Structure 1
Amino acid sequence: MSLFEKNTGSEDLLHLFGKKWKLPGEKAVSNIAKTLSLTERVVFILLIAVFAFSSLFLLWKVSQAFMVEVPERGGSLVEGIVGSPRFINPLLAETDADQDLTALVYSGLLKATPEGEPAGDLSESYSVSPDGLTYTFRLKEDIYFHDGEPVTAEDVEFTILKAQDPILKSPRRINWESVGVRVIDKEEIEFTLPHPYAPFLENATMGVLPKHLWKNLEPEQFAGSLLNAEPVGSGPYRVKKIKRGSDGLPIYYELTAFKKYASGEPYIRNLILKMFSNEKDLISAFKKGEVESINGISPQEARVFEKRKEIQLLTRPLPRIFGAFFNQNQATVFANKEVREALTISLDKEEFVEKILAGYGITINSPVPLSYLKNRNQDNRQESLSRLEGAKSIL
């Protein structure tokens, strides 16, 4: 284009935007306004203002009713945890540090919702036979490990069989003992229980190992594998970077969101997990702003933070049960069923929850977590007098 043509275009733009544009009906409104008295003009202007305000208010209400806010993906979070992980492995994880990282890197057939209920993760559906002995899971399509390999029912079978291996000495072995495993096809797997067990779905939240990476290792070699420190899973986050101290132990893990995660890419793009030797150092770092989030703190510390308005304290129910067990070998009186029942009734469970767990607990009357019961709103509280009277009546 020539210089002349550019100048002509600029003049055309100036001519176009330099014109005085009139709105439709502007002349009619102007003529009407001239015929009105001063009072009528004020009323006319007020009516227009009310109409404009009402229209904006109506649009706002419609927006509130039909529009949904969607969080934007991105950002990062620095979280502090106590201890240095040794086994980022669903079969071997024992400490809080192990379990925290394992939960981020690995995914299971199911996952726990914020309400503590099981929901699909690697599986899209599951069914339970009428007798409660057979559980069949159907895996989602196009699910992958962090290295790009697909997740199949064979990976699930491999993981469960390794959990059952007595040589491996997995802490999860008791959960899978005597459970039969059968691969139906690459996307469907079946478990057979020796007897009905309501909390079995909790077992299905255990992370799945990639068979192609672990299959050549003997059970005795599992604990010493580098894959325990540099894990490859199918969970919401994959390991991006590990920084170690002079002793070789990890100082922090940098994780990044896994875009092909079966339950959808996480909204927080990057996670940095810093390790601390004890809870005191962790809390100190949190107060100094060195970490933005902490978890797994003691109930007593949680009660302190609960009083600070600038801190958001989040709690969620866990399928974890604390109980008192009577040692019948040490005291033969506990062999008497009526004695055990009377003691169970007479104990003030609410007092235990308040004094030991600082109120962060729920009393139950069975070994099954509330999340697995139909009547989850059951009131387990019992007045002291009625408890003691009930215990006396048994004895």
Structure 2
Amino acid sequence: MKKRDFHKFALAAAAMGLADIPLGITRAHGQTRGGTLNSIVQPEPPMLNLAVSQLTPTQMVSGKIFLSLLTYDVNLKPLPSLAKSWTVSPDGLTYTFQLEPNARWHDGKPLTAEDVVYTAREFLPVTHPRARDIFGRCESITAAGPHTVVFKLKAPFGPFLSAFDISNLPVMPKHIYAGTDLAKNPANLNPVGSGPYKLKEWVRGSHIHLVRNEDYFKPGLPHLDAIIYRVMPDGASRALAIEKSTVQLTQWTDLELFDAQRIAKQSNLAMTTKGYEYFAPIMWLEMNNRTAPMNDKRFRQAVMHAIDRNFIKDRILYGFGKVATGPVNSKTRFYEPDVKKYDFNVAKANALLDEMGLKPDAKGIRARLRFPVSPYGEMVQRSCEYIRQCLSKIGVAVTLESTDPGSYTQRISQWDYDLNLSWLYQFGDPALGVTRNYVSSNIRKILFTNTVGYSNAEVDRLADAAALETEDAKRQVLYSQMQKQLVEDVPIAWLVEMEFPTIHDKRIQNLVTTAIGIHESFDQVSIKA
């Protein structure tokens, strides 16, 4: 049997196991409401609570189940979500949000200001990689009424109003979580949210089935009857599924990028790279700064010289992106282009290692490093293999280690690694999505914090000063200085500013309308008859 025929057979067999679930767009002609949207989730998330797990698959699915106070348009301007309105005091210290009075949890209980206060003050600081830095700036977080929340800052924080998207402040039900072990609460697998869709079933290894929340506070919404996320570990099967309209939506790394270029040309499909502006991820190679030889910046600089980043962009990412110059994506505010440059130069890399006194052994090996490979598809695997190949040319022997989502999360969060390929969201402002990876105060055993263990007092000072400054011109000066210092120290090898293709059936309407893209609630998404 040919490989492609095998994948067709496998896809058909999977469909047989889902016989009672619609495989394609389903809606009677002429209806203005209804339909089932089929998509892919890859890899399968470890849980469905994005307040505990910030992995992309969890965020993507949970964004339909939970809501935050705000969302953001393509220009990163705030829009209502659970908050119908908000005000900021003239001194920039007090932010008051008026909540939707008819919002309810999926179990029927009302959502109140107490839920927001509990989430920001008690839940997220324990589980979330950014909450301590964001909401720790508050002198108080209080309920001024059943539907009024007041955040009072200790000092002005310029990007504070940008911190209320679904990934930064997913509002959690206090009555479900208060007094429990947050990481082990059963609701992490069977969530009780306030969003337009609620969980019907999660069949491990098969699918996650969401259905319309009939008590959603927005009249007439959502449009769809259901969203089904299908678990498809095999890349060829995922490509075949969108080609054959078994699914109608792919995003992030669902498709290998060479497949995306080809499949997007089908007449029934459309492709966009919009909807990732808020995230603006950079693919990078984390190096555990605590352990030798990675605790010497000359080694980290050598790694930058040893990797051909243009090769990764052109040959592995198929042109989706641009070579990164440092820790801030060029699409993010306060980007500084005038930083130290690292060209692809193996001779420079070897010279730096020689300067360190890192001598090769009888087999020509200077160092041996462990490299857990995250389970996010062939693109990640190929990137890791290419990095291993590059480092072998400077005498660094890399062992690639397979992982599943759970073990990968555990290892990186517990600092049990030497190298790690990842990409983190920037959230529109360095104070929200960039400095968390480099400031000493955020060295924590939580994923997506400063897990590399980098510490520099000057970077800490610049990051703090820039966050407190309210004038953009002054913030730019501070962030430019910070970026220059970081690029000198290279705590992380920045590789490529990533772009991702979202491919969808042309009948799907209002799919990507904000900077949050496919992480949105999808309450406005509909299917054109």
Q: TM-score, with normalisation over the residues of structure 1?
A: 0.60
Contact 2:86 2:95 in 1 (8 A): yes
Which residue is 2:175 aligned to? 212
Instruction: Describe the superposition over 1:83-129 as per-residue Cα deviations: whole angstroms up to 9, x where unpaired.
Output: 32322113112333211211010000012335554311001222334
Which residue is 1:28 aligned to? none
Contact 2:78 2:161 in 1 (8 A): no
Instruction: Describe the superposition over 1:211-248 as per-residue Cα deviations: whole angstroms up to 9, x where unpaired.
Output: 11222x423xx222221121111112112x2152xxx5
Which residue is 1:291 aligned to? 247
Give the drift of 1:182. Answer: 1.7
Contact 1:107 1:233 in 2 (8 A): yes
Matches within 5 A, 1:299-338: 299-315=257-273, 316-317=275-276, 318-322=278-282
Give the drift of 1:372. Answer: 7.1
Which residue is 1:182 aligned to? 141
Contact 2:197 2:210 in 1 (8 A): no
- Structure 1 pair 373/176, CA: closer, same or farther in 2 (3 Å)? closer
1:89 aligns with 2:49: yes
Matches within 5 A, 1:186-205: 186=146, 187-192=148-153, 196-198=157-159, 201-205=162-166
Which residue is 2:128 aligned to? 170
Contact 2:116 2:149 in 1 (8 A): no
Which residue is 1:111 aligned to? 71
Which residue is 2:82 aligned to? 122
The one-letter amino acid paired with 2:265 is K
- Structure 1 pair 148/164, CA: closer, same or farther in 2 (3 Å)? closer
Aligned equivalents of 1:267 and 1:160: distance in 2? 30
The one-letter amino acid paired with 1:306 is A
Q: How high is the sequence identity, in percent, across the aligned residues? A: 23
Aligned equivalents of 1:236 and 1:114: distance in 2? 22
Q: SS state of the match for residue 272, structure 1?
A: strand
Q: How many residues align?
A: 304
Q: SS state of the match for residue 86, structure 1?
A: coil
Contact 2:47 2:53 in 1 (8 A): yes
Q: Which runs of 5+ in 2 are unaligned?
A: 1-29, 342-483, 485-529
Aligned equivalents of 1:174 and 1:238: distance in 2? 29
The one-letter amino acid paired with 1:311 is L
Contact 1:111 1:120 in 2 (8 A): yes
- Structure 1 pair 236/361, CA: closer, same or farther in 2 (3 Å)? farther
Give the drift of 1:201. Answer: 1.4
Q: SS state of the match for residue 78, structure 1?
A: strand
1:270 aligns with 2:233: no
Q: Which runs of 5+ in 1 are unaligned?
A: 1-69, 385-390
Aligned equivalents of 1:126 and 1:310: distance in 2? 41
Give the drift of 1:255. Answer: 2.1
Q: Which has the higher contact order (CA 8 A, sep 6+)?
A: 2
The one-letter amino acid paired with 1:189 is V
The one-letter amino acid paired with 2:137 is V
- Structure 1 pair 117/368, CA: closer, same or farther in 2 (3 Å)? farther
Aligned equivalents of 1:357 and 1:126: distance in 2? 41
Aligned-residue Cα RMSD (Å) equals: 4.6
Give the drift of 1:148. Answer: 2.2
Which residue is 2:11 aligned to? none
Q: Flag the structure with larger Rg.
A: 1
Q: 115-124 or 187-196, which moves further after superposition? A: 187-196
The one-letter amino acid paired with 1:182 is I
Which residue is 2:38 aligned to? 78
Give the drift of 1:251. Answer: 3.1
Which residue is 1:25 aligned to? none
Q: SS state of the match for residue 268, structure 1?
A: coil
Contact 1:117 1:372 in 2 (8 A): no
Q: SS state of the match for residue 72, structure 1?
A: coil
Which residue is 2:96 aligned to? 136
Instruction: Describe the superposition over 1:45-73 as per-residue Cα deviations: whole angstroms up to 9, x where unpaired.
Output: xxxxxxxxxxxxxxxxxxxxxxxxx9922
Which residue is 2:121 aligned to? 161
